[in-house]
Structure 1
Amino acid sequence: MSFPENRLTLRSSADLATAVPYLIGFHPSDGSIVVIACRDRRIVFAARGDLPAPGTPAHHLRELTAHLVPVVQRQQPITDLAIVGYGAQGHVDPALRVIGDAFTATGLAVRELLRVTEKRIFSLTCDDAACCPPQGTPVDPTTSLVAVHATVAGLVARPDRAAVAGRFTTVDSTRDGIRHATTEATARMTAVETAGSTAVYEVGVLAVRRALRQHDDGIGLSDDEVAWLTVLLTHQPVRDLAVDLTQPHDQHVTFWAEVTRRADEPLVPAPATVLALTAWRCGDGVLAAMAAERALQVDPDYQLAALLLQALHAGLPPSVFEHATTSTHPSPFSPNPNTPSEQE
């Protein structure tokens, strides 16, 4: 199997398990379940969820399965699936079989059921002791060629979800400077608004272009520049322009993560949503979902972040993001394949 764009080839169950953290962006913890959808031996989609805790009523697992199945089905055409669970045998194996049976019942071929326990991989679908020994197959992501090739290909596997959030989480030690700069930027914005919304937009065009150009040139933004940019982003046409001007590559993901991290708390939703959209377009569903959640944490009514999170949870592709910027459509998303996603 290969990642999209032929970046990496997987030849065994051990390779597949090693690749999972690079598919979802971080190393799954025990209790995680990852469903990997393939098309002609090419990975096209990965969704992660949390298994119900041991001893939880059975309907909780059925509810998780009922959510995962339609999400994966939307990625058609799919030729087969691999499902990987993390944790103890007694907890993971029964859940793997229930989820595998649910997908099989829909007509989807489940090629692999794998459990990862303490750096060993166990197959529930292979009885050949030569390739899948009962004691499991050791896997060490730090020495695996798959990990090396994934890193060279630009794929990143962070230690956990907290490390992903750390890219855009506010740092308290920077608060005083940015608060003072934001107060001044707000007063400046009030003066610009007296000239009308067109004036605000024109100033916003200059600020967004300048900020992205500075970042592309390796020049960081000052507190005053971050504050002015985030104040301007509260004007929806400026925010939408920022989305249009941002390119789907890691450099601009890093830019918006930094702006979100440094923004004064009330102004976080706009840059966090631009970050989410950019990460989504880059195929990083985990970062996209977490950034959208951050926007909604500050402002639960921030519509674009809510629509984006809806799309991510439904397993929809970034090709619908153009529609998401049209706030007059209450639910603009429609099924289409080919985006990594995290299901919470």
Structure 2
Amino acid sequence: MSFTENKLTVRSSADLAAAVPYLLGFHPSDGSIVVIASRERRIVFAARGDLPTPAHLLREFTVHLVPVVQRQQPITDLVLVGYGMPEHLDPALRIVGDAFTTAGLTVREMLRVTEARIFSLTCDDRSCCPPDGIPFDPTASLVAVQATVAGLVARPDRAAVARRLTPDYSGRDSIRDATNTATTRMEALITTGSTAVFEAGVLAVRDALRQHDNGARLTDDEVAWLSVLLTDRAVRDLAVDLTQPHEQHITFWAEITRRAHTPLVAAPATVLALTAWRCGDGVLAVMAAEHALQINPDYQLAHLVLHALQAGLPPTAIEEAITRTHHSPSTRNPNHPYDQE
């Protein structure tokens, strides 16, 4: 993920290790490697991957990872943080570090986190980096306090992030019936004029976001109407434009994604992916885009978002094009009310 603002003050290896879960959005598990890119001591990018087993697959790992990080230029230096036992991690970290160095990037430090201790693979000064590691408690760190105040969240693991997309089956029958009603309403709007759907979408998106900002939960009828309107590309693009890059709106689109009738999930899941991406939550963004494609493998915007995320591009690569076109109502086929690209 990339960061537009530096919200955490990192002064030591312990601070950096404590910050990683907040940079990623979850606590990395053993076998993870995290690459943190800085520009003049300001963190601008962080990415996590699972170190492959067996070790000969490390080449494929670095072939993908190095160009992703290179695209974040200008970069001053990198820090690599690995999680797990030394037997596997230490050689792997050195191989990955050498790959970045060969590519012309400066690896400032390599750290290994094993249980509750931090070990440096690049510092030989026993006064600051003792051979038996530096003990640390990430929950008691000042960084954790700063992160909480800044509104950053570190979930227990990657699975906890995925649960934000788990469908809400408690109201499936109600949502299905409400969606059928909303579809009939949509079909009637289509016959009244070329801009009728877009105008209804403007009202629905703005009202839904306003209700959520005020602490109100949308009814099943409101969720159904919004999700049906989002099948119109111009309405979906307007929703992207009106959504603000903050956790409150991530929560909103995660709820719509969970509650929407399954055939209509691709659009809100893609809006969620873009919103999470703009907030720097690359993990949730990837999961949301993948979730959209599980529902609709042909959903073009989700493909574009996922490819851009995997390439390490910034969200501006897509959102500027969306902003330029959101005001133009799309041409729909009235015979296909679920016009999902």
Runs (5+) with no aligned partner, structure 2: 326-341
Cα distance in 2 between the residues matched to 1:51 and 1:95:
8
Partner of 2:314: 317
Partner of 2:332: none
Deviations 1:76-115 (A, max 9, x none): 1111100011111111111100000011112211111111
Partner of 2:139: 142
Partner of 2:23: 23
Q: Does the aligned pair in 2 maintain the 1:303–1:327 contact within 8 Å?
A: no
**Distance verdict in 2 for CA 1:76–1:164, change over 3 Å:** same
Cα distance in 2 between the residues matched to 1:235 and 1:293:
20
**Distance verdict in 2 for CA 1:246–1:321, change over 3 Å:** same
TM-score (norm: length of structure 2): 0.91
Q: Does the aligned pair in 2 maintain the 1:122–1:134 contact within 8 Å?
A: yes
Q: Does the aligned pair in 2 maintain the 1:256–1:274 contact within 8 Å?
A: yes
Cα distance in 1 between the residues matched to 2:144 and 2:241:
34
Partner of 2:252: 255
Cα distance in 2 between the residues matched to 1:5 and 1:307:
25
Partner of 1:226: 223
Q: SS in structure 2 opposite 1:167?
A: helix
Runs (5+) with no aligned partner, structure 1: 329-344
Partner of 2:329: none
1:51 equivalent in alignment to 2:48: no
1:7 equivalent in alignment to 2:7: yes
**Distance verdict in 2 for CA 1:315–1:245, change over 3 Å:** same
1:127 equivalent in alignment to 2:124: yes
Partner of 2:148: 151
Q: Is 299-308 or 6-15 further displaced after alignment?
A: 6-15
Please report how far the alpha carbon of residue 323 of structure 1 lies from its aligned counterpart in structure 2 after TM superposition: 4.5
Task: Let me know the Cα RMSD of the aligned residues.
Answer: 1.7
Cα distance in 1 between the residues matched to 2:308 and 2:100:
22
Q: Does the aligned pair in 1 maintain the 2:202–2:238 contact within 8 Å?
A: yes
Partner of 1:307: 304
Cα distance in 2 between the residues matched to 1:296 and 1:215:
26
1:96 equivalent in alignment to 2:93: yes
* 1:93-242 map, 5 Å: 93-242=90-239
Q: Does the aligned pair in 1 maintain the 2:8–2:19 contact within 8 Å?
A: no
Q: SS in structure 1 opposite 2:139?
A: coil
Q: Does the aligned pair in 1 maintain the 2:36–2:45 contact within 8 Å?
A: yes
Moved over 4 A (4+): none
Cα distance in 2 between the residues matched to 1:35 and 1:226:
39
Please report how far the alpha carbon of residue 284 of structure 1 lies from its aligned counterpart in structure 2 after TM superposition: 1.3
- Give the aligned residue type for 2:61: L
1:78 equivalent in alignment to 2:79: no
- Give the aligned residue type for 1:309: L
Partner of 2:338: none
**Distance verdict in 2 for CA 1:57–1:98, change over 3 Å:** closer
Deviations 1:112-164 (A, max 9, x none): 11111112111100111111111111121111111111111211111111211
Cα distance in 1 between the residues matched to 2:315 and 2:4:
15
Q: SS in structure 2 opposite 1:166?
A: helix
Cα distance in 1 between the residues matched to 2:171 and 2:28:
31
Cα distance in 1 between the residues matched to 2:87 and 2:94:
12
Q: Does the aligned pair in 2 maintain the 1:304–1:327 contact within 8 Å?
A: no
Partner of 1:245: 242
Please report how far the alpha carbon of residue 57 of structure 1 lies from its aligned counterpart in structure 2 after TM superposition: 5.3
Cα distance in 1 between the residues matched to 2:168 and 2:200:
28
**Distance verdict in 2 for CA 1:4–1:211, change over 3 Å:** closer
Q: SS in structure 2 opposite 1:325?
A: helix
Q: Does the aligned pair in 2 maintain the 1:230–1:267 contact within 8 Å?
A: yes
Q: Is 167-176 or 95-104 further displaced after alignment?
A: 167-176
Matched residues, percent identical?
Answer: 75
Cα distance in 2 between the residues matched to 1:198 and 1:324:
21
Cα distance in 2 between the residues matched to 1:5 and 1:269:
30
Q: Does the aligned pair in 1 maintain the 2:113–2:119 contact within 8 Å?
A: yes
Cα distance in 2 between the residues matched to 1:35 and 1:124:
15
Q: Does the aligned pair in 1 maintain the 2:176–2:261 contact within 8 Å?
A: yes
Partner of 1:334: none
Q: Does the aligned pair in 1 maintain the 2:33–2:80 contact within 8 Å?
A: yes
Cα distance in 1 between the residues matched to 2:172 and 2:116:
41
- Give the aligned residue type for 2:322: T
1:279 equivalent in alignment to 2:279: no
